[in-house]
């Protein structure tokens, strides 16, 4: 089965160039020049990865990414000419997995696509987040998690390789449970419990990595 890469880009020449490179790299490109149209298409059939331009007519890339995250964890590479936007793009608010600044080399974009697909494909084959059921399965078997533990692990697992600060994880643990009394120290104890539960089903595998001075990162 071929890997479908959606390219959401309103500059036809750039879109065609990226599509050519994607095809040459063995992917099946799908072109969209409109954010709303792309989003509607993704609801019917999800691509394996999305290359998303930030500046689009109508619905911009940031809005597309946010709306997409409501129903999909498909990897997104954001393309932007606005360097000052990068923090927001990669932040929890928008939920992009990576970014490239315009003008970019299509070769570099293909390398990023390959790296992200490898990372997310491997992780997804082992651990799956079911947002609708608030459930996480490892090799198809559900983990027994508290709501805070679910919130933390789901956030980490949706963005393999991305470092989350304790403050970010706190916000996520509180989501949907505002009365929850979570402190910085409680995050560490939640992480400890999640690690123990993961270790029970994935012995010898370190899935949640501590990044000194920064926080935590998920990688399988
Ligand atoms: Ca554009």
Instruction: Read off the pLDDT of each residue in 155-173 and give the average, rounded to a whole number.
Output: 83
Question: Which CATH number does the domain 127-218 belong to among 3.40.50.300, 1.10.10.10, 1.20.120.1200, 3.40.50.2300?
Answer: 1.10.10.10
Question: At residue 179, does pLDDT exceed 60?
Answer: no
Distance 9 CA to ligand 1 centre (A): 6
Which among 39-43, 144-148, 170-174, 186-190 has the top mean pLDDT? Answer: 39-43
Which pLDDT tens digit goes with each residue over 6-57?
999 999 999 999 999 999 999 999 999 999 999 999 999 989 999 999 999 9
Distance 116 CA to ligand 1 centre (A): 23
Among 67, 62, 61, smallest CA distance to 10 is for 61
Distance 28 CA to ligand 1 centre (A): 22
The per-residue pLDDT for 56 is 93
Helix axes of 106-126 and 12-24: crossing angle, nearest 10 degrees: 60
Choice between 132 and 145, residue whose per-residue pLDDT is larger = 145
Distance 204 CA to ligand 1 centre (A): 46
Distance 160 CA to ligand 1 centre (A): 27
Instruction: Read off the pLDDT of each residue in 143-149 and give the average, rounded to a whole number.
Output: 91
The per-residue pLDDT for 59 is 92
Choice between 177 and 52, residue whose per-residue pLDDT is larger = 52
Are 194 and 145 in contact by the 8 Å Cβ rule? The answer is yes
Instruction: Read off the pLDDT of each residue in 127-150 and give the average, rounded to a whole number.
Output: 90
Distance 54 CA to ligand 1 centre (A): 6
> What global pTM score does this model have?
0.67
Distance 64 CA to ligand 1 centre (A): 13
Instruction: Read off the pLDDT of each residue in 94-105 and give the average, rounded to a whole number.
Output: 86
How much is the mean pLDDT over the chain? 87
Task: Give buried/exposed letters for 152-170 (b at 16+ CB in 10 A, else e).
Answer: bbbbbbbbbebebebebbb
Choice between 23 and 180, residue whose per-residue pLDDT is larger = 23
Distance 37 CA to ligand 1 centre (A): 15
Distance 155 CA to ligand 1 centre (A): 29
Class at the top of the CATH hierarchy for domain 3-120: alpha beta
Hey, what are 216's tokens? 């935590």
What is the spatial distance between Cα 89 and Cα 63, in angstroms, rounded to a whole number?
A: 10
Which pLDDT tens digit goes with each residue over 194-214?
999 999 999 888 899 998 888
Distance 41 CA to ligand 1 centre (A): 19
Are 175 and 148 in contact by the 8 Å Cβ rule? The answer is no
The per-residue pLDDT for 147 is 86
Question: At residue 178, does pLDDT exceed 60?
Answer: no
Q: What is the sign, positive or negative, of the torsion defined by CA atoms of 151, 155, 160, 166?
A: negative
The per-residue pLDDT for 172 is 73
Delimit the domains of the chain by residue range: 3-120, 127-218
Instruction: Read off the pLDDT of each residue in 169-181 and give the average, rounded to a whole number.
Output: 67
Hey, what are 94's tokens? 């928008």
The per-residue pLDDT for 176 is 54
């Amino acid at each position: 089965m071929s890997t479908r890469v959606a390219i959401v880009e309103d500059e036809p020449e750039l879109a065609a160039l990226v599509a050519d490179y994607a095809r040459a790299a063995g992917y099946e490109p799908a072109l969209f020049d409109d954010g709303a149209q792309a989003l509607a298409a993704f609801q019917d059939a999800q691509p394996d990865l999305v290359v998303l331009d930030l500046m689009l007519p109508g619905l911009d890339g940031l809005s597309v990414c946010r709306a997409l995250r409501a129903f999909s964890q498909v990897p997104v590479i954001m393309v932007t000419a606005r360097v000052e936007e990068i923090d927001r793009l990669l932040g929890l608010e928008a939920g992009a997995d990576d970014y490239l600044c315009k003008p970019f080399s299509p070769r570099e974009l293909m390398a990023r696509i390959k790296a992200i697909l490898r990372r997310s494909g491997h992780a997804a084959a082992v651990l799956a987040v079911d947002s609708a059921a608030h459930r996480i399965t490892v090799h198809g078997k559900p983990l027994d998690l508290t709501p805070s533990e679910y919130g933390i692990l789901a956030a980490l697992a949706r963005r393999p390789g991305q470092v989350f600060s304790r403050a970010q994880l706190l916000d996520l643990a509180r989501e949907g449970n505002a009365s929850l009394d979570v402190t910085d120290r409680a995050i560490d104890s939640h992480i400890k419990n999640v690690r123990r539960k993961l270790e029970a089903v994935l012995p010898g595998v370190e899935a949640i990595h501590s990044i000194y001075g920064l926080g935590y990162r998920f990688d399988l």
